[in-house]
Every structure is written in structure tokens, then in C-alpha cells.
């Protein structure tokens, strides 16, 4: 059996078995971390109204939500963001949803937007 932090012999079946067990444990821990992070980010978005990053969805734009809640990031001048309606693109989103609810497919909706000279984001 390999000692913790010791050399691993890839030709040794016992070492291979131990590494497989460690790999399975690591995968389980990674999944637990993933669930915790996603839950925390979802709670921040719902309770604080914060936008946690990435490109805003079409029909929305970023708005300032004050200083970042992390004091270290706030000290560096980072700001928190929230989403607000983009008054130019929001009506286009409404048209897209209305067309979809009226039975238009994605290709037909895209053709309609192109015909009306509505540019993609």
C-alpha cells in the first residue's frame, strides 16, 4: 500500500486499487463542493438580487448595485451588479415569446427577426 505522500508504483495492483478509491472519493467531494457553490450562488442571486457574472441575457443590461459585499473586493473598487430591463431589446424579447406561444418554431422566429432587420445580440 502506498504511504500518504509516498511514491506510487503504477505497476503495483494494490497501489492501483488505492488510487481508484482516492479517485472515487475525490469525485464525491467535487460533487459536494459543486452543490454547495451552486446553492450559495443561487441564494445570493435570489435574496440579494445580485447578478453573479457572465453576459446578461438578451433583453437585460447590467446596472450598478453598490459596493461589492466582499470588503476586499470593495476596497479594490469592485462593484456589485444587478439586471435591469434593456428598454431597446425588451420589446424584441416579448415578440420572440409571443411568436413561440403562437406556434412559430425557432427557425421561423429567426427568419422573422432577420426580415424585420433586428440584429442578433
Q: Number of helices and strands (H, E) in the chain?
A: 4, 2
Identify whether residues 58 and 80 lie together within a single domain: yes
Identify whether residues 20 and 3 lie together within a single domain: yes
Structural domain range at position 12: 1-48
Identify whether residues 39 and 72 lie together within a single domain: no
Identify whether residues 76 and 117 lie together within a single domain: no
Identify whether residues 40 and 79 lie together within a single domain: no
Identify whether residues 57 and 76 lie together within a single domain: yes
Identify whether residues 119 and 78 lie together within a single domain: no
Identify whether residues 39 and 56 lie together within a single domain: no
Identify whether residues 25 and 42 lie together within a single domain: yes
Domain count, the chain: 3
At 53 the pLDDT is: 80
Residues of the chain with pLDDT under 70: 1-4
Instruction: Indicate the pTM of the whole model.
Output: 0.57
Identify whether residues 63 and 81 lie together within a single domain: yes
Contact 19, 8 (CB under 8 A): yes
At 50 the pLDDT is: 80
H or E segment at 32?
A: helix 13-48
Identify whether residues 95 and 68 lie together within a single domain: no
H or E segment at 99?
A: helix 90-101
At 42 the pLDDT is: 87
Grid coordinates representing 79?
A: 462593484
Please state, in angstroms and as integers, the Cα–Cα distance from residue 68 to each residue in 10, 22, 73, 80, following that order.
Answer: 48, 38, 6, 5
In this structure, is the dihedral angle defined by the CA atoms of residues 76, 82, 85 and 89, taken in order, positive or negative? positive
At 1 the pLDDT is: 52
Identify whether residues 15 and 32 lie together within a single domain: yes
At 2 the pLDDT is: 56
Dihedral over alpha carbons 73, 52, 94, 88 (to 10 degrees): 20
Amino acid at each position: 500500500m502506498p504511504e500518504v505522500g509516498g511514491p506510487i508504483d503504477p505497476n503495483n495492483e494494490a497501489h492501483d486499487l488505492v488510487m481508484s478509491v482516492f479517485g472515487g472519493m475525490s469525485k464525491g467531494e467535487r460533487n459536494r463542493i459543486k452543490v454547495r457553490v451552486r446553492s450559495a450562488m443561487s441564494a445570493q442571486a435570489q435574496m440579494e438580487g445580485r447578478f453573479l457574472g457572465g453576459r446578461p441575457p438578451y433583453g437585460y443590461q447590467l446596472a450598478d448595485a453598490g459596493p461589492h459585499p466582499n470588503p476586499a473586493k470593495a476596497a479594490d473598487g469592485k462593484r456589485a451588479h444587478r439586471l435591469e430591463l434593456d428598454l431597446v431589446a425588451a420589446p424584441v424579447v416579448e415578440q420572440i415569446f409571443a411568436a413561440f406561444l403562437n406556434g412559430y418554431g425557432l427557425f421561423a422566429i429567426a427568419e422573422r427577426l432577420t426580415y424585420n432587420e433586428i440584429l442578433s445580440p
